[in-house]
Chain A
Amino acid sequence: MAASKASRIGEEIWKTRIDKVNAELVTLTYGTIVAQLCKDFEDDYPEVNRQLDKMGYNIGLRLIEDYLAKSNTMKRCSNFRETADMISRVGFKIFLNITPQVTNWTADNNSFSLVFDENPFADFVELPDDGRAQNELWYSNILCGVLRGALEMVQMQVEAHFISDVLRGNDTTEMRVTLIRYIDDELPPEDD
């Protein structure tokens, strides 16, 4: 499916089938969660990253059904490039009203970057200046988990992590997504 068609689908669903909420409610709720995790785990940022990823994973496992129902998806993507376009132009569009750029493909087409020009989670946010958060905390790490969970439900095992974040002073916010394998129907071993 062409990228432009994906954009059109995303736009159409966003306009007609999505209940909107105040963006600040989302931003502030997410901020509260991250801040509370930092408190609960006593500023152990790698652990906070892990917890966010886990929360996102559990969201993704459920959210995929909403994505499929709303987008009326009847057939699976024919390749990983199409998957990437659908993630950005339909998935991110309908749930967050953003369309991150899909870029930096590897030659084998198994790994790409999502570059976030805007990130509704990060409005108003400044990372704590304890000298570590800037290097250790991936503030929007929940998104990696969401992608991992959602794609796992449609038979794709992926690995996702942020490699830069404007909150850390980088120029861009960039997430790297790598396809590990397609989980094809695995038949249980036969008892011979």
Chain B
Amino acid sequence: MKVASKGHSLFRIDNTRRVWFSNSQDKIDILETNSKAETRFMVSPSWPDTLNLTLVSPDSRTVFSLIIINKAGGLIYNKTFHEGGLNKISTNDYLVLAGTFHGVHAITARLNPVKPVAPPPTPGTNEPPNRPEPSSGLEVLETENFRMQCFNTLTGTKFLLFTETTQTNVDVTIKRIYDLYADYVMKNPFYSLEMPIRCDIFDRKLLSYIREINNR
């Protein structure tokens, strides 16, 4: 029996529920997980019969924080959900981050070669020429500890979500956040467009949604 104690980064679990050891190619399938975040694994023939491992990092699926950038590159929302996940930086640094990302996003979008325009479906009919698909620009930034995914809406608002690198379904999470934004920010008659978001109901709905994900 081998026990990996908390704090040791010995393995990671991918979304096929298979455990990978960081120092080798060995992998094992998960048999069951109990409520104390202990996991029993089926092991490959070269390993002992059973193996009990305590999950090294119980929050290996965590959404750290959310940033919303308006279409002019201004920071309009910034919320941290998980203390200790990322270091705190000053509000001013967040503003710089938002502005810088906005600029880098715009430039990377220009780097992308424009896809050739698809010809109209049936030549000869009165179909107008198609507009070229705009290029997406920078979508993901990744470091050793976190991953930042950008969702750029068609109106130009950007949602940046900072998560663990192992986080799955980030795009689903961001879309759901966009739903909440459309409802509780845009439909609040006293919210002025493009201005910092100070909407209590949005905060509450967002927090409870993210808490649900982080506690899964």
Contact = CB atoms under 8 A, between A and B. Distances in A.
Interface of A: 61-66, 68-70, 72-73, 75-81, 105, 107-109, 153-154, 182, 185
B130 A78 contact: yes
Interface of B: 106, 118, 126-131, 133-134, 153-155, 157, 175, 178-179, 181-183, 186-187, 193
B182 A68 contact: yes
A79 B129 contact: yes
A78 B131 contact: yes
A69 B128 contact: no
B interface: dominant SS? loop
Contacts of A153: 155
A81 B128 contact: yes
A182 B183 CA distance: 27
Contact of A76 (B134, B178, B179): B134
A149 to B, nearest CB: 10
A79 B131 contact: yes
Contacts of A107: 126
Contacts of B126: 105, 107, 109
Given A65-B181, A65-B186, A75 B155 contact: no
Contacts of B157: 65
Contact of B128 (A72, A75, A79, A154): A79
A66 B181 CA distance: 9
Contacts of B153: 65, 68
